[in-house]
Amino acid sequence: MLSLQGFSWEEEDFFSSACRLLEEPFSLGASIAGFFGFIYIQDRASMLPPVALMPDRGAFVLDMCASPGSKTGQLAHIVGEEGFVLGNEVSPPRLATLRRNLQQMGLFQTASCCFEGQHIPLPGGFCDFIQLDPPCSGWGTVEKNPRVMEIWKEEKTLPLVSLQRELLKNAERLLKPGGVLVYSTCTTNLEENEAQVKFAQEELGLTLEKLSPLPEFVMDEPMLGMDGVWRLSPRIGDTQGFFVARLRKKNGGESFIPEERQWGEPLARKYVQELGIAENYLEYGDIAVFKESLHFVHRQAKFFPQNFAWQGMYMGKAGKSNEVQLSPRVRMAGDLPMTHFEGKDGLEKIKGLLSGQSFSCDFKEKNVLMAWNGLVLGRLKVKNKRLIWSER
């Protein structure tokens, strides 16, 4: 799809799904693959924290400071559909961005919540893996933000350092015995990096685990004589500055044993079939109604405490008597008619649909699946024997 639109790239070795863009005839975000969430644009160095964490397939992961969702999405691909990633974001506008991105990528193995990271109300010992990429001074983004070091002079970073330590404290509390935490920043500031790892070791009892060298990156020598962390300075045209450390909680102590709960009103299987959603997705959880909206409830989300406020991936609107209007971006292809587009001509027709054009059809159903070269993209509406794309 990208090739036919004139893009070219090369694969990266440090992460199997990473590709470096070589040719960009127009903004990559405006590509059809970008529109439907099959790719995500991310700085090369910012992909390193999930690589360092590398949770097990099927694991539960908490992303404590998640928006806009790049690392959340990356982690979701690593743990797979049977795994589960909870993305937390304290800012409501940024939370909306996070949720929109997760829905666009079709990551039903994710959910989101809105709490101060240092006060996420989950029981102690709840998490197998935690990604903590806290607010920082951002000195490593100097290429994109030339004034960042002027704005965040060293004396102004003290509140950030304090917040980072509070976040580390709560992360340690939330980890199960033997659980793993990756702490990362996009700054080169010692006080926000190695000094924080030292705090985690000496004050919180976490153990630093040595990260293997990555030949694909030019690494700097860590400060404070610390071995096994990744420290990168910003390099123009290559990568922003970044710091990554992997920490483990010692074994011993009790893990929280959660109780399974029912969230929302699950749709009956017959309604799932009528909506054209493949039943195999119900192996991973339920599609449930919450007041006037429809969300995916992953099976691992059923263990959240009763008073914990969260939201699964948005799937559409719900009315009375199980009347449901699915989002056109739901790709869970089941028993619905499908309209097929092929090759470059098919891409041009899809571009036309996205820009408001319609095409005649003989479908009697209200909705049909749209596919390109066999890849399901979403759902088209049928009105007056015309196919249309509508996000409403």
End-to-end CA distance of the chain: 26
Annotated binding-site ranges for S-adenosyl-L-methionine? 89, 133
pLDDT above 70 for 188: yes
Assess if residue 103 is contained within a domain: yes
Whole-model pTM: value is 0.94
Same-domain status, 197 and 96: yes
Nearest-angstrom CA–CA distance, 48 and 67: 16
pLDDT above 70 for 143: no
Same-domain status, 223 and 282: no
Annotated binding-site ranges? 89, 133
pLDDT above 70 for 126: yes
Domain count across the chain? 3
pLDDT above 80 for 237: no
CB 263 within 8 A of CB 301: yes
Share the mean pLDDT of the chain. Answer: 93
Quickly state the pLDDT bin for 392 (edges 50, 70, 90).
confident
Same-domain status, 190 and 46: yes
Catalytic residue among 114, 127, 136, 186: 186
Is 19 known to be catalytic? no
Determine the pLDDT at residue 235: 83
Q: What is the pLDDT of residues 294-306, one digit of tens each?
A: 999 999 999 999 9
Nearest-angstrom CA–CA distance, 197 and 239: 23
Same-domain status, 347 and 269: no
Assess if residue 6 is contained within a domain: no
Assess if residue 5 is contained within a domain: no
Same-domain status, 239 and 284: no
Same-domain status, 215 and 147: yes
pLDDT above 70 for 379: yes
CATH of the domain at 49: 3.40.50.150
Assess if residue 28 is contained within a domain: no
DSSP designation for 64: S
Same-domain status, 54 and 185: yes
Same-domain status, 188 and 104: yes
Q: What is the pLDDT of residues 334-350, one digit of tens each?
A: 888 999 999 999 999 99
pLDDT above 70 for 148: no
Q: Taking residues 17-28, what's their average pLDDT?
A: 96
Same-domain status, 193 and 106: yes
Residue with tokens 């990604």: 131
Domain that holds residue 317: 265-326
Query: Given 248, 274, 298, which residue is the final one in a domain?
Result: 248
Same-domain status, 114 and 77: yes
Residue 315's closest CA among 340, 346, 282?
Answer: 282
Determine the pLDDT at residue 291: 87
Same-domain status, 381 and 299: no
